[in-house]
Amino acid sequence: MKNISFQTKLIKRRLGILLTLVCSLGVFSCSEFLEVKPDQSLVVPTTLEDVQSMLDNTNIFNAQPVLPLIASEEVWITDAGFDALGNPIEQATFTWQEDPFLGGFAGDWNSVYAQVFYSNVALDVLSKYEGERNQFYNTLQGSAYFLRAYAYLQLVDQFSQPFQKGADNSRILGIVIKESPDVNEPIRRSSLLETYDQIFEDLNLAVSLLPDRAEPKTRPTKAIALGALSRAYLNTFRYPEAANAAKEALEIYSDRLDFNNINVNASRPFVRFDQETIFYSTLFSLSFLRSNEVFVDSTLMDLYDENDLRKKAFFDRASNGQFIYTGKISGDTRNFGGLSVGELYLNAAEGFSRMGEDGEALKFLNELLALRYDSEFWEPIASLNSSELLERILQERRKELFGRGLRWMDLRRLNQEGAGITLVREVKGQRYELVPNSLRYTFPIPMDEITRSGIEQNPR
């Protein structure tokens, strides 16, 4: 908490400079991010400390989209809860409507492009910096590359079709790539291949520039950049690279949270910035996540056995017998969305499994489960054939990564691997389905952006 207070004070001291920057480039008008003309007479950051203050704005950088979580099958909502949702976008997303934004504003698009904008401002300032380019400078540059790539990774998972296994992704629309804060830069949608090329380039630069560790955990590090690389490689079916990036990240970041050492029966068993957290970020808050009428999918709950400490740590039983999600590793009421030790163990395990290296895959799986199962009853998994091992790893992904928005990413990927998962919901007597590889696994770009910039809409 002291680190957060320090960040806040530092940002406030430099607020005059940063507010003039924000106003000059239209950040307060989030719906005009890609086009607003700046007033060139206004002041912009010039020092390394100014850049650090800007990148330490956790309200901008350490928050990420929530709609993919609502669209996945991890939770359901009662009819009464559905009627009480404060934003019709939540209802439209839950039922997979053709235009979940209802022709209006979409924070998942605009707020994440704010992260791209600020990152580009930082990189622009650093490119013109005339002082010593020391380790502090390198760290700032690496941080900006990471934060831009992490934003692009959120955007491509929501607003572009999934990366197609064995297809020509240069012919599929990606997102708008902005490499500078220049508002006169042409606006176009890159291909999906170009989008991921940019993500990989930025993350690899971040790996080369960032330190192994940093405090607080809202700041990027080498291990964090490797973790994001692992996630991006998994998205693009590059399983060897996903496994090795996750393995390297876990070697650099050596802390582990053993659930045997926490009070899993507490209302909040986790604390902010604990050993499990590698990069701290939370999902945007919407009424859906705060509703008392949202419950965990029963088929998912059936996957947890009684010796799995995650069942008690993550969930509480409501008065109606259903389970609600209360134990969030964010340490508060917000859903965690960053990078964790558990995710990287599973990225490594799946990557090695799909490479045919079952021994390595089993090692990473057992190391994770030893931290999650009651130690009095836990025995390492000794013998599974290849298909059984992969099935168990994917099952553990569902259990470990609950409530983070990552299930949507996995569904888009796994259905191409033959999972054949059809999502089904019934709301107020009406049945809704989302079939594998549906175009509705890609969110439409908000209409205000289409109207303003003229970029191409996603097929629906």
143-166 average pLDDT score: 98
pLDDT of residue 106: 80
Which tops the pLDDT comparison, 28 or 365?
365
Judge whether 397 lies within some domain: yes
Residues 197 and 283 in one domain: no
Q: Is the pLDDT of residue 239 over 70?
A: yes
Residue 47 is given by DSSP the state S
pLDDT tens digits, 178-229: 988 987 778 999 999 999 999 999 999 999 999 999 999 999 999 999 999 9
427, β-bridge pairs: 430
| Domain boundary residue, one of 171, 192, 210 | 210
Residues 6+ apart with CB under 8 A from 102: 88, 89, 92
CATH code of the domain covering residue 194: 1.25.40.390
Indicate whether 153 and 276 sit together in one domain. no
- Same domain for 269 and 255, yes or no, is yes
Quick check: is 179 in a domain? yes
Residues 3, 54 within the same domain: yes
Per-residue pLDDT band for 22 (boundaries 50, 70, 90) equals: very low
> What's phi and psi for 281, nearest 5 deg?
-155, 150
Task: Give yes or no for residue 19 having a pLDDT over 80.
Answer: no
User: Residue 383 CB: number of other CB atoms within 10 A?
Assistant: 7
Q: Is pLDDT above 80 for 43? A: no
Are residues 18 and 110 located together in one domain of the fold? yes
Q: List pLDDT tens digits, range 287-339.
A: 999 999 999 999 999 999 999 999 999 999 999 999 999 999 999 999 999 99
Average pLDDT over residues 2-22: 38
Q: Do 238 and 184 share a structural domain?
A: no
For residue 34, the model assigns a pLDDT of 53
In this structure, the answer to whether residues 50 and 132 fall within a common structural domain is yes
β-bridge mates for residue 339, sequence order: 279
Query: Would residue 437 count as lying in a domain?
Result: no
Query: Are 182 and 278 in a shared domain?
Result: no
Same domain? For 410 and 266 the reply is yes
pLDDT digits (tens, 9 = 90+) for 406-433: 999 999 999 999 999 999 999 999 999 9
pLDDT at 74 over 70: yes
In terms of Cα–Cα distance, which of 221, 225, 218, 217 is closest to 245? 225
pTM for this one? Answer: 0.91
Question: Considering the domain boundaries, does residue 72 fall inside one?
Answer: no
Quick check: is 202 in a domain? yes
Q: Are residues 18 and 140 in the same domain?
A: yes
Of the pLDDT bands very low, low, confident and very high (cuts 50, 70, 90), residue 40 is: very low
Query: Are residues 128 and 239 located together in one domain of the fold?
Result: no
Instruction: Indicate the number of domains in the chain.
Output: 2
**Within a domain: 450:** no
Question: Does 432 map to a domain?
Answer: no
**Quick check: bond before 216 cis, omega within 30?**
yes
Mean pLDDT of 259-282: 97
Is the confidence at residue 435, as pLDDT, over 50?
yes
User: 314 lies in a domain?
Assistant: yes
* CA dist., res. 63 & res. 110, Å (int): 12
Domain enclosing residue 126, as ranges: 1-65+100-210
